[in-house]
Structure 1
């Protein structure tokens, strides 16, 4: 028997709040109820008072009795005749008892009854298609409640059309579905994946996700800006002065220049001067996995980023993927020249990055020591004439 607290005389509103919080507001408990994993009956003690408690607050006792007498579903209330030495025989409500889901939802009120009725209409087409779907639908209750009955019917249509590897060489939005738009599939892929796992013996989970099971291409991600720095390289890129590539494409597409300049920040990359036989890849930040590309092994590659703990961390990560990458304008010489332009990082990376060379590790330690009363020199704080000079030195010195 569940007790709300140690006080006597729990009123209907208090009992309602307790049951709603326990049985409806807590999603875990609600799901267990809907899957018949929580046992009935629900029994709530109403708190039988002692004679002293009644005498101390007779008005509350009368209110307690009257409210439960007025409670419409009297068949849920267990009353008990109790004899008190000082008060005589009193008929006391002792327990609220709810025997099943129907009674629970009726007790919780018409708004919740409507939600359950709507939920039943949403679930029905799917459980009619396959009864095994019921626990999956309850597990994904918050998603299912957002559907309409028609959308539930549409999901049954999807389940009949989707087959392994049907999307080979296609993006998800290009699947040849009949009567269903692919955006609907994309918006509901979590639920659809779970239901397909029932039909295909967990094959979607084993494949990794729905896209892999369907054989679909991953959507492009990790976009980078590619900017040719001379007319020749621009002509080799269809005359485009600037373009974007995702990291997957860039890994497999060789850029038509012997010199590849990787620049951490977009604004600094867009303001680069003309540089023969050079293409800049700009604005990747931590997105440097593409530097593992095989075609880069035969290129001169340089990296230029902010002189701060995070810039040096990205440089170290870049060297993991491209060990022959060279470093530009990330040294103490640059730091000393423009120390007055330094600022303080809001949050610093603390561990010395492992793939830095000795001078770069020393620079990291200098930044941590606060030698210059600041620990960050942004790319944008370097003057253009200095940038041009250093880039020309790198371009012209093959032994740089």
Structure 2
């Protein structure tokens, strides 16, 4: 069939409903309802046959036009215009569809029940937590999607407003049907509501909603650090050669050793050779930033040894943000090239600016990003030969690093 004989795409009643439903799904109509805005008729221009198209496709055009005359006039008001000419005569075609009232729109889209639910939730929330209504108006479709849980969400917000204190864990939230899994599942919505309900002083803007407990002042799990004596002195006062202690408590009890060696892998932590006047500290990847309360580390020689890959350098960079005097060992080019037989592949390299790396570290990090030696190259610290580790620690001991 040639292009000249193709039937044009004229607007039909189904197209009108689809177009209005798309607008409904954006929340546009419910937002206007929630704002109390005066109703304005919804006017939709219609693509109808032209005189030339009537002449070329008279049967198809009459069929399409006939569908419009079957539309319920109590729901849609059709504005018409006349087209035609000497050959086919004057014909009335639909020009615009007009929805004069919100009730007509709800009925046309068959959303009367949804509208009633939204209005009911607005009314109930206005009475109990009026500060949340703005969020409901801005996100009406999310409110509808949470209609069966909306009461629990509002009750949770109000409970936090009344009872939230720094010594309270999320587990303490005492609302029927609500537990920590519920809060985790709905933390995005709860964050949006709490940002409107709470006084600004109770919101720590430094933390995103994904760090829900920190953002809204809940007590979080304590950070623990594991220490092992490498010299004669125990890591903390007492007879124990190895301890696991809360960071907040360790902050008030400095280690007696003058050197702290931070490693990432448990096996390397356990197998580090003796080092006089030193303590090994088992890191925790990016959780190392949790060591910030240990101010006494600023007066210790602080050594970091992590995996020789992009994440290892990113962790080193983060540690130096808190403790700029941190030195690295075994995270250099000679160590990498001396262990070719032990190279592995990093699953998901990090690609970020790391401004706290020293020049040689930054050069190697750039080479890793550029896949200079191998794609996504990784040398895990436990794959470095033990003799290399011993020599590196002896050099560090002799140089006072």
The 5 Å alignment of 1:1-400 reads 9-21=10-22, 23-27=23-27, 31-32=31-32, 34-35=34-35, 40-73=40-73, 76-78=76-78, 80=80, 82=82, 84=84, 85-109=86-110, 112-129=111-128, 133-148=132-147, 151-155=149-153, 157-158=155-156, 161-163=159-161, 166-174=164-172, 177=174, 181=178, 183=180, 191=189, 215-217=217-219, 219-220=220-221, 226-229=226-229, 233=234, 243=244, 254-255=254-255, 257-265=257-265, 268-269=268-269, 271-273=271-273, 278-285=279-286, 287-288=288-289, 290=291, 293-308=294-309, 311-312=312-313, 314-335=315-336, 337-342=338-343, 353-354=355-356, 356=358, 377-391=379-393, 394=396, 397=398, 399-400=400-401
Q: Summarize the Cα distance change of 1:87–1:114 in structure 2 as closer, same or farther, 3 Å threshold.
A: same
Alpha-carbon shift at residue 136 of structure 1 (Å): 2.3
Counterpart CA distance in 2 for 1:364 and 1:185 is 39
1:170-228 Cα deviation digits (max 9, x unpaired): 223335x46574635665565556556666676656877886797533x248x676252
SS of the residue aligned with 2:302?
Answer: strand
Counterpart CA distance in 2 for 1:214 and 1:350 is 29
Alpha-carbon shift at residue 331 of structure 1 (Å): 4.0
Alpha-carbon shift at residue 55 of structure 1 (Å): 1.9
Counterpart CA distance in 2 for 1:274 and 1:252 is 26
Q: Summarize the Cα distance change of 1:79–1:294 in structure 2 as closer, same or farther, 3 Å threshold.
A: closer
Aligned residue pairs: how many? 384
Q: Is the 8 A contact 2:79 2:97 kept in 1?
A: no
SS of the residue aligned with 2:98?
Answer: strand
TM-score (norm 2): 0.72
Q: Summarize the Cα distance change of 1:182–1:155 in structure 2 as closer, same or farther, 3 Å threshold.
A: same
Alpha-carbon shift at residue 261 of structure 1 (Å): 1.4
SS of the residue aligned with 2:19?
Answer: helix
Q: Summarize the Cα distance change of 1:179–1:27 in structure 2 as closer, same or farther, 3 Å threshold.
A: closer
Q: Summarize the Cα distance change of 1:255–1:98 in structure 2 as closer, same or farther, 3 Å threshold.
A: farther
TM-score (norm 1): 0.72
SS of the residue aligned with 1:145?
Answer: helix
Q: Is the 8 A contact 1:289 1:321 kept in 2?
A: no
Counterpart CA distance in 2 for 1:240 and 1:179 is 47
SS of the residue aligned with 1:94?
Answer: strand
Counterpart CA distance in 2 for 1:146 and 1:215 is 28
SS of the residue aligned with 1:262?
Answer: strand
Q: Summarize the Cα distance change of 1:95–1:248 in structure 2 as closer, same or farther, 3 Å threshold.
A: farther
Q: Is the 8 A contact 2:285 2:315 kept in 1?
A: no
Counterpart CA distance in 1 for 2:74 and 2:107 is 13
Q: Summarize the Cα distance change of 1:180–1:15 in structure 2 as closer, same or farther, 3 Å threshold.
A: closer
Greater shift in the superposed pair: 318-327 or 50-59: 318-327
Corresponding residue number in structure 2 for 1:3: none
1:309-351 Cα deviation digits (max 9, x unpaired): 6544544553443344343223455345435545687868697
Alpha-carbon shift at residue 251 of structure 1 (Å): 5.4
Alpha-carbon shift at residue 126 of structure 1 (Å): 1.0
Counterpart CA distance in 2 for 1:288 and 1:31 is 43
Corresponding residue number in structure 2 for 1:4: none
Greater shift in the superposed pair: 286-295 or 369-378: 369-378
1:250-279 Cα deviation digits (max 9, x unpaired): 656645655421114455445545667523
Greater shift in the superposed pair: 51-60 or 379-388: 379-388
Counterpart CA distance in 2 for 1:186 and 1:308 is 32
Structure 2: tracts of 5 or more residues without a match: 1-7
What's the RMSD between the two structures over aligned residues? 4.6
